[in-house]
Chain A
């Protein structure tokens, strides 16, 4: 039997809600307990991706007074969670909090008392994964029971998708990496984080080729590269890694990116998808962070919807050259679309008017003007956003990112819309996380 990998993700808003609830004092219990619910998909038969989107605190009167343990809950609490699992055909996690920093570990009482709770949840829906989730102030522990596995499994990565992300994965020992020693200020876990995440690049043109190069320098090791296109003459003015000799064989942009990465890190693990991402969506869903370097608002909209559904932060970059009466003007943007926070529609970057105009021009776009340096600048800004998102080195919290680039003055600054933006997204709700659910009419 193949080794089963588990990825567990929860949206930032849910993570904050769980933390706030579990920190509330109880009349007699030392700690609180809740249940988190969500859905799971199996990818390529070996990876189970679990996305949580709902939380149910254990009611105050469902605790049993017992000073020998931190919290003891009665059968009513477990029955209520089982009922939810049964009604919604979902997965469930027993959740509690250890009040310290660093990775929490199950106590002796946890090890003895919690597996039977997981078994009860599994009795309600045996086909779904169920488990235990322990939160600390800045980390997690989880163990998961999945069908056909005898023992509880430790996820390969757990992440709270917020700014910055809270990321936990099994760390055997701190990797020593002389190549990355000059960036140690990014945090003692930064090297391990870069080496552990799987990063998707959707579109490997002028912007994506800069990004892939910088990610490789940064120490990212696992890449999934999506592009259906091959190099042509007009790409050589901006495609990083592209060579004149590649034109003859019409080398794919993914192969050019792969060569670029392997030249920097020969041990990189690279998955190539020579098609649109929609033709291999599971290869995107498995990624922990995605970069979008796509050409149209429609493509952005589809990519953002998929990323939000599977709790993948999406960093979008793009540039345009406009001709006005005064001459040419270069503009561009870097947007971070973090699930449950403001989306590209909330930010006004995607709207019906733009989509309609784009659809009306369908098939008549022509070769749009593009140059190398704005792509490089936008890609560098995007890499800066990524680095802070996954390491938190600047200590900024809950940051919304919509950077506007004026290529004629060379300025990058916060887009003015950020001043008027609600943090919560009004287009993608928590109910839309995970595999789609339809209501029968």
Chain B
């Protein structure tokens, strides 16, 4: 899948290292060294964004490790995607968002109120 150039550029303004791969018909964006909201531990982590509907979610953000320091969330671990184990929380986004909007809404789930 070809993502709109302007959306990729907007994403790269926040996180410079973005790469793409497909598995099982889903396109994923690997976001290396993603800076997480204040208080998160670890504060920097690799993440994998699936911008299309998957498992009942409009989009999903997977983290390379479980994140502590944010609000209490229901974490699922050891989700195998593209040869790595990932962690994710149950967090819905609305359809039709741009990539950067998606990412920000997912990160909002880790922000202390």
Contacts and interface: CB of A to CB of B under 8 A. Distances in A.
19 contacts: A281-B85, A302-B80, A305-B23, A305-B24, A355-B55, A356-B56, A357-B56, A358-B55, A358-B56, A428-B25, A436-B21, A436-B82, A438-B19, A438-B21, A438-B30, A438-B82, A440-B18, A441-B8, A441-B29
Contacts of A278: 78-80, 85
A331 interface: no
A278 B84 CA distance: 9
Contact of A426 (B25, B29, B55, B85): B25
A345 B25 contact: yes
A355 B24 contact: no
Nearest to B12: A441
Contact of B53 (A308, A352, A439, A441): A352
A286 to B, nearest CB: 15
B21 A302 contact: no
Contacts, number: 81
A120 interface: no
A352 B83 contact: no
B25 A441 contact: no
Interface in A362-379: 362
B56 A355 contact: yes
A149 interface: no
A432 B55 contact: no
A302 B79 contact: yes
A305 B54 CA distance: 15
A222 to B, nearest CB: 23
A362 B24 contact: no
Contacts of B20: 438-439, 441
A352 B95 CA distance: 15
Interface of A: 276, 278-279, 281, 298, 301-302, 304-306, 308-309, 343, 345, 352, 355-360, 362, 426-429, 431-432, 435-441
B112 interface: no
Chain B interface SS verdict (over half): strand
Interface of B: 3, 8, 12, 17-25, 29-30, 53-57, 78-83, 85, 90
B55 A359 contact: yes
B31 to A, nearest CB: 11
Nearest to A343: B24
A298 B57 CA distance: 13
A440 B19 contact: yes
Nearest to B17: A440
B24 A360 contact: no
A431 B24 CA distance: 11
A276 B78 contact: yes
Nearest to B53: A352
A436 B23 CA distance: 9
A280 to B, nearest CB: 11
B80 A281 contact: yes
B78 A439 contact: no
B56 A441 contact: no
Contacts of A426: 25
Which 9 residue pairs spanning A and B have beta carbons closest together? Answer: A356-B56, A438-B19, A427-B25, A359-B56, A278-B78, A436-B82, A436-B83, A302-B80, A438-B21
B19 A439 contact: yes
B104 to A, nearest CB: 18
Contact of A352 (B3, B18, B54, B78): B54
Contact of A435 (B12, B81, B83): B83
Given A358-B56, A438-B82, A441-B18, 10 more contacts: A278-B80, A302-B79, A302-B81, A308-B24, A352-B56, A356-B53, A358-B55, A359-B57, A427-B24, A428-B24
Contacts of A438: 19-21, 30, 82
Contact of A441 (B19, B57, B79, B83): B19
B78 A279 contact: yes
A83 B96 CA distance: 42
A305 B21 contact: no
A302 B81 CA distance: 7
Contacts of A441: 3, 8, 12, 18-20, 29
Nearest to A360: B56
Contacts of A358: 55-56
